Structure 1
Amino acid sequence: MVTDSSGVVGPAGAAGPTPGPSPARRLLPLIVPALVVGTASALVLLGISLLAERLQDVLWETLPDALSADRWSVLWTVVVLTASGLVTGLLIRTVPGRAGPDPATTGLVDPPLAAGVVPGLLLVTVLTLAGGISLGPENPITAANIALAFWLGRRVAPGTPAELWVSLAAAGTVGALFGTPVAAALILSEALASRPGPGLLWDRLFGPLAAGAAGALTMTLLAHPSFDLALPPYPGPHWADLLSSTVIAAAGAVLGLLAVCAFPWAHRFFRALRHPVAALTLGGLLLGVLGALGGRLTLFKGLDEVKELAADPGGWSAGQFAMMAVVKTAALLIAASCGFRGGRIFPAVFVGVALGLCAHALVTQVPVALAVTCAVLGMLLAITRQGWLSLFTAAVLVGDASVLPMLCVASLPAWLLVTGRQQMLLRADGTPLK
Structure 2
Amino acid sequence: MSVGEPGAASAAAPEDPYAPLRTRPYLGLLALTALVGVPVCAVAFGFLALVNELQPVIYTDLPAALGFHDTPVWWPLPMLALAGLLVGLTVRHLPGRGGHEPADGFKAGGAPSLAELPGVACASLASLGLGAVLGPEAPLIAIGGGLAVGALRLAKRNADARAAALVGAAGSFAAVSALLGSPLLGAFLLMEVSGLAGPLLGTVLAPGLLAAGIGALIFTGLGDWTGLGTYGLALHDIPEATAPTVSEFGWALVIGIAAAFAGAGVHRLALFLKGRVERRRVVGTVVAGLAVAGLAIGYGAGTGREPSEVMYSGETALEGLLAHGATYSTAALVSLVACKALAYCVSLSSFRGGPIFPAMFVGAAGGMLLSELPGLTLTAGFAMGVGAMAVAMLKLPMTSVLLATLLLGSEGLTVMPLVIVAVVISYVVSVRLTPTPAPGGSPPAGGTGRA
In the other structure, the counterpart of 1:262 is 269
Are residue 315 (structure 1) and residue 327 (structure 2) matched? yes
Decide whether aligned partners of structure 1 residues 432 and 167 sit closer, same or farther in structure 2, where only a CA change above 3 A counts: farther
Give, in whole Å, the separation in 2 of the partners of 1:194 and 1:146: 17
Structure 2 CA distance, aligned partners of 1:211 and 1:299? 32
* Displacement after TM superposition at 1:138 (Å): 1.0
The 3 A distance-change label for structure 1 pair 253 and 73 is farther
Distance 1:432 1:11, change over 3 A: closer
Structure 1: 5+ residue runs without aligned partners?
A: 1-9
Residue matched to 2:373: 362
Provide, for residues 160-215 of structure 1, a one-character-per-residue CA deviation record: whole Å limited to 9, x for no partner. 423212321222223232132212332243355556x8x45334321111112122
In 2: Cα distance, 1:265 partner to 1:68 partner: 41
1:70: Cα distance to partner? 5.9
The percent of aligned pairs where both chains have the same amino acid is 26
Q: Are 1:201 and 2:228 counterparts?
A: no
The more displaced of 20-29 and 315-324 is 20-29
Q: Secondary structure at the match of 1:82?
A: helix
- Aligned positions of 1:22-421 closer than 5 A: 23-25=21-23, 28-69=27-68, 71-100=70-99, 102-105=101-104, 107-157=106-156, 158-160=158-160, 161=162, 162-191=164-193, 194=196, 199=199, 201-221=201-221, 222=223, 223-224=229-230, 225-272=232-279, 274=280, 276-294=281-299, 295-338=307-350, 340-363=351-374, 365-400=375-410, 401-421=413-433
CA contact (8 A) 2:436 2:444 kept: no
Instruction: Using the TM superposition, give the Cα deviation of residue 21 of structure 1 relative to its aligned residue in structure 2, in angstroms.
Output: 6.0
- What is the CA distance between 1:100 and its match in structure 2? 3.6
Q: Compared with structure 1, are the counterparts of its residues 242 and 254 closer, same or farther at alpha carbon in structure 2 (3 Å cutoff)? A: same
The Cα offsets for residues 86-131 of structure 1, whole Å up to 9 and x where unpaired, read as 2332344443444346454474531122211111221222221110
Check whether the contact 2:107–2:193 (CA below 8 A) recurs between aligned residues. Answer: no
Higher mean alpha-carbon deviation, 157-166 vs 299-308, is at 157-166
* Contact 2:178 2:186 (C-alpha < 8 Å) held by counterparts: no
User: Quick one: distance in 2 between partners of 1:255 and 1:380?
Assistant: 11
Q: After TM superposition, give the deviation of residue 389 of structure 1 in Å.
A: 1.3
| CA distance in 2 between partners of 1:102 and 1:188 (Å) | 17
Displacement after TM superposition at 1:285 (Å): 0.6
Distance 1:277 1:83 in 2: 11
**How far 1:263 sits from its partner (Å)?**
2.4
Displacement of 1:420 after TM fit?
Answer: 3.8
Q: Evaluate the alpha carbon distance shift between residue 11 and residue 166 of structure 1 in structure 2; reply closer, same or farther with a 3 A threshold.
A: closer
Local SS of the residue matching 1:314: helix
Unaligned runs of 5+ in 2: 1-6, 224-228, 300-306, 447-451
Distance 1:30 1:192 in 2: 19
1:75 counterpart SS class = coil
Using the TM superposition, name which of 253-262 and 128-137 deviates more: 253-262
Paired letter, 1:359: L
The separation in 2 between residues aligned to 1:393 and 1:176, in whole angstroms, is 13
Shift of 1:38: 3.0
For the 8 Å contact 1:261–1:422, the answer to whether it is kept is no
Name the CA shift for 1:244/1:215 in 2 (closer, same or farther; >3 Å): same
> Per the alignment, do residues 423 and 30 of structure 1 end up closer, same or farther by CA in structure 2, a change over 3 Å counting?
farther
| Residue-by-residue CA offset, 1:221-243 (whole Å, 9 max, x unaligned) | 32333422522121222222211
State TM-score, norm by structure 1: 0.86
| Residues 318 and 362 in structure 1, CA contact (< 8 A), matched pair in contact too | no
SS in 2 for 1:299: coil
**Separation in 2 of the partners of 1:214 and 1:377?**
28
Query: Quick check: 2:108–2:194 contact (8 Å CA) kept in 1?
Result: no
CA contact (8 A) 1:81 1:288 kept: yes
The 8 Å contact of residues 99 and 124 in structure 1, kept in 2 or not, is answered as yes
1:423–1:298 distance in 2 versus 1, CA, 3 Å: farther
Conserved 8 A contact 1:246-1:411: no
- Paired residues, number: 416
Aligned counterparts of 2:100 and 2:360: Cα–Cα separation in 1: 25
CA contact (8 A) 1:70 1:76 kept: no
Go from structure 1 to structure 2 and tell me whether the alpha carbon gap of 1:106 and 1:143 turns closer, same or farther (over 3 Å shift): farther
TM-score by length of 2: 0.83
| Cα pair 1:424 1:432 within 8 Å, conserved | no
Task: Write the deviation string for residues 270-317 of structure 1: whole angstroms up to 9, x where unpaired.
Answer: 223x2x210111011101101112222111111112222122110101
Q: CA RMSD in A?
A: 3.1
Amino acid across the alignment from 1:350:
F
Which of 43-52 and 172-181 deviates more? 172-181
Q: Distance in 2 between matches of 1:300 and 1:17?
A: 51
Hey, what does 1:7 align to over in structure 2?
Answer: none
